[in-house]
Chain A
Amino acid sequence: MTDVKKMDNSEPKIIAFCCHYCAFAAADLAGTLRLKYPPNVHIIRLPCTGKLDALYLLKAFEAGADGVFVAGCLEGSCHFISGNLRAKKRVRSIQGLLEKLGIGKERLEFFNLSSAQGDRFAQIAREMTERIKKLGSLGVNLSPNPSPKEGRELPPFPSGKGPGVRSVEKEQL
């Protein structure tokens, strides 16, 4: 479990769970095409959005995310057939839960796009950033065990280094 250090209190942190075959590829393409999208978005690559456990979404918020989106292939084009359909169900379920927790379902979203849609990825990233900016920072910053007795030093939120997470070149806004 990781802790998100905010560089600046007004800049929301958005976590994007992207499937390798479509969304991540689209994000990559956006980078290649030098399309502008906000640096607030941190991408986590999954082999398929079907790998998404509902728990990842809550853990993302616990780790300090102000907004989360899940991006998968277009319906009917999932590399693993129906992973994106299952992910959508899980997202909807957690959206309902977030409403009941007082966090609000708008902070979580699900998108479909194809690997060729670099522009769409940039648009999604901008859209979510705008949305979360309007909603404001969540102000939740939890370590898994708030008891100081643990004394565990937690590593910072990955900024692109480490296995499974590729850094995506993007323009600074």
Chain B
Amino acid sequence: MIVADQKPIEEILQMVEPYRRVLFLGCQSCVAVCMAGGEKEVGLLAAAVRLARKQQGRPIEITEGAVKRQCDDEFNEPWRKTIEQQEAVLSLACGVGVNKLSERFDLPILPALNTKFFGEVERQGIWTEVCAGCGNCILHLTGGICPIARCAKNLLNGPCGGVRADGTCEVSQNGPHPCAWVMIYERLGRLNQRKNIENLFAAKDWSSGRHGGPRRRIREDMLLEG
């Protein structure tokens, strides 16, 4: 799922500052799961912004809602009438939702979230990055543990020398995390596949990833007429 953080309230207040009638639109998929932009978070944020604006003496009229998935016209279109009555929309979806609404509706679409990564639910309240969307998956060779996403240096022949004694990565600005290559080494041991990392992994072709430019997936057989 896509994992995002809510922007600091000060930044959000600054974004909605010029507007008096705004729709706060959340999404009930990924961002609801990571508790950043679901229906609940929309309610909380709307109450907070109303309180703050009332304190400032500049009340704001907020319409609250959430769609199933904001990345799809199908779910956004029913909100057209409401959206056209607003001065702006504060989207609590991931960046995709903001982009999507911006394609279809001619008014400012503001991002309430900072979209971060593809991640898993470690447990309630903790979400971790595990996939980098590199476009060329080698997880069958590394025991299902991604060295591109989970190694700070994207090593393919790791680990580097910076592994702490407890097996965590020396790069800890986002909090301590286990060294991906220690994990790969241990898992391949359990799967009896250590041979995989005794040979050299070739240099990566990054052109299938973000570095090759914005990507598109097309299924010709699924395209409809018209």
Do these two chains really belong together in a complex?
yes
Seen from chain A, the residues whose Cβ lies within 8 Å of a Cβ on chain B are 53-55, 58-59, 61-62, 97, 100-103, 140, 142, 145-147
Among listed B22-30, B49-57, B95-103, B158-166, interface-contacting one: B49-57
Q: Kindly list chain A residues whose C-beta atoms are within 8 Å of the C-beta of B54.
A: 140, 142
Inter-chain contact B52/A102, CB cutoff 8 Å: yes
- Between-chain CB contacts (< 8 Å), 11 pairs: A53-B40, A55-B43, A55-B47, A58-B47, A62-B51, A100-B8, A103-B52, A103-B55, A140-B51, A145-B61, A146-B59
Q: How many residues of B contact A (CB 8 A)?
A: 16
Asked if A101 and B61 make an inter-chain contact with CB atoms under 8 angstroms apart, the answer reads no
Given known A-B contacts A103-B55, A140-B55, A142-B54, A97 and B61 have beta carbons under 8 A apart: no
| Interface core residue of A97, A101, A146 (most chain B CB under 10 Å) | A101
Tell me the bound Cα distance from A59 to B54 in angstroms.
13
Residues of B within 8 A of A145 (CB): 61
Q: Given A97-B9, A145-B61, are A103 and B51 also a contact pair (CB < 8 Å)?
A: yes
- Partner of A54 from the list B9, B44, B50, B56 (CB cut-off 8 Å) is B44
Distance, CA A58 to CA B44, complexed state (A): 7
CB-based contact B9/A101 at 8 Å: yes
Distance of A62 from chain B, by nearest CB (Å) = 6
Q: Does chain A have a CB within 8 A of B10?
A: yes
Q: A55-B43, A102-B56 are in contact. List 11 more A-B contacts (CB 8 A).
A: A54-B44, A58-B47, A58-B51, A59-B47, A62-B47, A62-B50, A101-B9, A101-B48, A103-B55, A140-B51, A145-B61
Contact with A along B14-35 (1 / 0, CB 8 A): 0000000000000000000000
With a CB–CB cut-off of 8 A, which chain A residues contact B56?
Answer: 102
**Contacting pair B9 A100 (CB below 8 A):** yes
Residue of B nearest to A93 (CB): B44
- What are the residues of chain A within 8 A of B52 when measuring CB–CB? 101-103
Contacts of B59 in A (CB 8 A): 142, 146
Among candidates A102, A140, A146, residue contacting B61 with C-beta atoms closer than 8 Å: A146
Minimum CB–CB distance for B24 against chain A, Å: 13
Instruction: Please give the distance in Å from B23's CB to the nearest CB on chain A.
Output: 12
A55 and B51 in contact (CB under 8 A), knowing A97-B9, A100-B10, A146-B59? Answer: no
User: Which residues of chain A are within 8 angstroms of B44 by Cβ–Cβ distance?
Assistant: 54-55, 58
Contact B55 A55 (CB under 8 A): no
Q: How would residues 137 to 166 of chain B score, 1 for a CB under 8 Å from any chain A CB and 0 otherwise?
A: 000000000000000000000000000000
Q: For residue B60, which residue of chain A has the nearest CB?
A: A146
- CB <8 Å contact, A102 and B55: yes
Residues in chain B near residue A54, CB distance under 8 A:
44
Are A147 and B61 interface neighbours, CB within 8 A? yes
Q: Are A61 and B40 in contact (CB under 8 A)?
A: no
